């Protein structure tokens, strides 16, 4: 996908007489637009198929909005990123719906408190998690990213409390709150070394399976 988008960016830049740096900026923005559109559309469509489109979008957006400030471990290519995001959001959306059906208020409250306590602690320890393709070095930016992450986590916490309280009157809010917990849990996991190992192992799975098939 990235190659295809870069080709289009090159075509556009040549036509407009842009230099190499301007072309790189256009390509960077275009990759973001295409990735956001494809991922959100697929998450919504697969969510519709499994009967939980709102839950799937809640998981997806709660991961991605927090990620904007916290950073996190990265996949090697855009295709794996899209496939993994769609699978994770769809599976957890189904789980959210199912858990909402067997819902008990007290265990839910305990799960919420544990996940948010862990999320704040992990964010305090690791944020921001940068990557070789986008390093974060200045103290000013580190402080800005940390502040942004804590603000977003606080807003998520307030929304989760609101969903929890509303769920006593309207059961539909149960699955929204559970979906948000799945989003926060995954995103903070990608900030930790364990999350990095897990994601890299998953990233290498197709290569490993390909090797196994060749050997057979």
Partner 1 sequence: MKKLYGLVAAISTLVAALVASSACYIFIYQPEEPASLRNE
> For 134, which DSSP code?
B
Measured between alpha carbons, how far apart are the two ends of the chain, in Å? 30
Q: Does 57 interact with partner 1 (rule: CB under 8 A)?
A: no
216 binds partner 1, rule: CB under 8 A: no
Nearer to partner 1, 99 or 123 (CB): 123
Determine if 24 is a binding residue for partner 1 (CB under 8 A): yes
Q: Is-contact 83 210, C-beta < 8 A?
A: no
Site track for partner 1 across 160-179, x = CB under 8 A:
--------------------
Smallest distance, partner 1 to C-beta of residue 199, A: 7
- 122 near partner 1, judged by CB under 8 A: no
Length in residues, the chain: 216
Does position 141 bind partner 1 by CB under 8 A? yes
Query: Does 84 help bind partner 1 (rule: CB under 8 A)?
Result: yes
Identity of the residue, 76 or 208, whose beta carbon is nearer to partner 1 in the bound complex: 76
Check binding of 9 to partner 1 (CB under 8 A): yes
CB-based contact 26:12 (threshold 8 Å): yes
Q: How far is the CB of 68 from partner 1 (least distance, A)?
A: 4
Query: Counting Cβ atoms within 10 Å, is residue 57 exposed (0-12), middle (13-18) or buried (19+)?
Result: middle
Answer for the pair 156, 62: CB distance below 8 angstroms, yes or no.
Answer: yes
Q: Identify the DSSP state of 76.
A: S
d(Cα 46, Cα 38) in Å, to the nearest integer?
A: 12
Contact between 155 and partner 1 (CB under 8 A)?
A: no
Residue 190 has what DSSP assignment?
A: T
| 35 touches partner 1 (CB under 8 A) | yes
Stretch of 34-42, 115-123, 164-172, 174-182 lying at the interface with partner 1 (CB under 8 A) = 34-42
Stretch that binds partner 1, among 65-73, 90-98, 107-115, 151-159 (CB under 8 A): 65-73
Q: Which stretch binds partner 1 (CB under 8 A): 107-115, 129-137, 150-158, 164-172?
A: 129-137
**Residue whose tokens read 């190992």:** 197
Do 178 and 96 form a contact (C-beta atoms < 8 A)? yes
Q: For residues 193 and 199, is the Cβ–Cβ distance under 8 A?
A: no
40 pairs with which residues across the strands?
Answer: none
Binding site residues, partner 1, CB under 8 A: 2, 9, 11-13, 15-16, 18, 21-22, 24-33, 35-36, 39, 64-65, 67-78, 80-82, 84-85, 127-131, 133-138, 141, 145, 190, 199
């Amino acid at each position: 996908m990235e190659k295809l988008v870069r080709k289009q960016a090159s075509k556009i830049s040549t036509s407009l007489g842009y230099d190499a740096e301007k072309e790189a900026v256009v390509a960077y923005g275009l990759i973001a637009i295409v990735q956001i559109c494809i991922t959100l559309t697929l998450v919504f469509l697969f969510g519709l198929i499994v009967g939980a489109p709102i839950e799937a979008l809640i998981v997806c957006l709660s991961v991605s909005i927090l990620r904007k400030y916290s950073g996190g471990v990265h996949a090697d290519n855009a295709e794996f990123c899209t496939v993994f995001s769609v699978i994770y959001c769809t599976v957890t959306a189904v789980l959210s719906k199912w858990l909402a059906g067997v819902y008990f208020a007290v265990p839910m409250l305990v799960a919420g408190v544990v996940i948010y306590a862990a999320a704040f602690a992990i964010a305090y320890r690791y944020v921001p998690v940068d990557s070789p393709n986008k390093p974060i070095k200045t103290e000013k930016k580190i402080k800005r990213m940390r502040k942004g992450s804590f603000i977003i986590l606080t807003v998520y916490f307030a929304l989760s409390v609101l969903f929890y309280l509303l769920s006593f009157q309207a059961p539909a809010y149960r699955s929204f709150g559970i979906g948000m917990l799945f989003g926060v849990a995954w995103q903070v996991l990608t900030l930790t070394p364990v999350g990095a190992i897990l994601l890299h192992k998953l990233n290498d799975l197709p290569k490993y399976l390909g090797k196994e098939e060749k050997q057979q």
